[in-house]
Structure 1
């Protein structure tokens, strides 16, 4: 009885009875490779149900809705994918990149805007739910060349370093003041706690809010 060469390729046995010899490791690998190649080829050549479908086709097939809302005082109407967040609508469709995408999960506050006067994390809101709403972003605070009082206070108090989270901090601060949560530094910190400052300027941010609220 002779042993087969390790380089030989033995076809898979057609007889599955107990007398048939099991395939060698090399045969198994060769057969598996052939089957895998056939599956891939079928997908490329049209055998797969998703054959020929591209990312663009999938995007075109996604449900979309026409939405009208007021952004920084201007009425805007756009047809968007129903999955579009308010943050992506602002940044990618309207070019308002002041609202930053930090965690994109509602944990950092970098995307804070005002919706009908209330603070909201823009990354958590579907834009299609805002028909008729009024949205204010960091770009809409200043009056021409005149800064909003809180924007000026951030400069006066040096309440930022890298500046990435500053727009969200300012928008949250404006909401905090409008909501009347500025009775003490402790209250301000509590009601601003949803906004992260990566540079750790929290003390100066509180001072800026106090200055704008007339407490300093």
Structure 2
């Protein structure tokens, strides 16, 4: 089977019923996507599928065949970080950091859908859990990244 992953075609020999999270982490060694709860509640495993935030721990590989899958590894690069990554650092969002890749992927999906999100938009889209409680900083970082976008500096999140 073939998967469009981070902008390139990947040929796979895997069980189509395997959760996407395990394919990413265990088969493809893309460990930026984290395992949190295993029941799609916490959001640590969030990736983007055709631009939408999706919890990969409960999504079978068969559900993403023929779709574009993006992981945190493709959000930005060390030389060209995504505006969200820059804003995350500027607002000092990360503490333990465990939830951050899922948070960033959910935020990227939000900004692609709503380039100038309101507090209500952010609250509705950001259903990921941060055990460190940095929700106010997350909101500020999303707004900062939206401001960068308004000035033409946001790298599109899609591969």
- TM-score norm. by structure 1 comes to 0.65
Q: Which one of 99, 102, 111 corresponds to residue 168 of structure 1?
A: 102
Q: In the alignment, which residue of structure 2 is the partner of 1:204?
A: 137
Secondary structure at the aligned position of 2:133 is classed as coil
C-alpha contact 2:115 2:146 (8 A) present in aligned 1: no
What is the root-mean-square deviation in Å for CA atoms of aligned residues? 1.7
Alpha-carbon distance in 1 for matches of 2:48, 2:16: 21
> Per chain length, whose mean CA-contact separation is higher, i.e. which structure has more relative contact order (CA < 8 Å, sep 6+)?
2
Q: Which one of 113, 123, 147 corresponds to residue 214 of structure 1?
A: 147
Alpha-carbon distance in 1 for matches of 2:72, 2:45: 10
Alpha-carbon distance in 1 for matches of 2:81, 2:94: 16
Q: In the alignment, which residue of structure 1 is the partner of 2:128?
A: 195
Q: Deviations over 1:115-163 (max 9, x none)?
A: 0111111111110222221111000011452111101100000011000
Alpha-carbon distance in 2 for matches of 1:159, 1:211: 12
Alpha-carbon distance in 1 for matches of 2:112, 2:44: 19
Q: In the alignment, which residue of structure 2 is the partner of 1:70?
A: 4
Q: In the alignment, which residue of structure 2 is the partner of 1:185?
A: 119
Secondary structure at the aligned position of 2:14 is classed as strand
For 1:73-92, list aligned pairs within 5 A. Answer: 73-92=7-26
Q: In the alignment, which residue of structure 1 is the partner of 2:45?
A: 111
Aligned length: 149
- TM-aligned CA deviation for residue 181 of structure 1: 7.0
Alpha-carbon distance in 2 for matches of 1:128, 1:94: 16
Residue ranges of structure 1 left out of the alignment (5+ in a row): 1-66
Moved over 4 A (4+): none
For 1:22-37, list aligned pairs within 5 A. Answer: none
Alpha-carbon distance in 2 for matches of 1:80, 1:147: 32
- TM-aligned CA deviation for residue 183 of structure 1: 3.2
Alpha-carbon distance in 2 for matches of 1:183, 1:100: 26
C-alpha contact 1:181 1:188 (8 A) present in aligned 2: no
Q: In the alignment, which residue of structure 2 is the partner of 1:97?
A: 31
Alpha-carbon distance in 2 for matches of 1:103, 1:182: 31
Residue ranges of structure 2 left out of the alignment (5+ in a row): 151-159
Bigger-Rg structure (1/2): 1
Alpha-carbon distance in 2 for matches of 1:183, 1:146: 23
- TM-aligned CA deviation for residue 182 of structure 1: 4.3
- TM-score norm. by structure 2 comes to 0.88
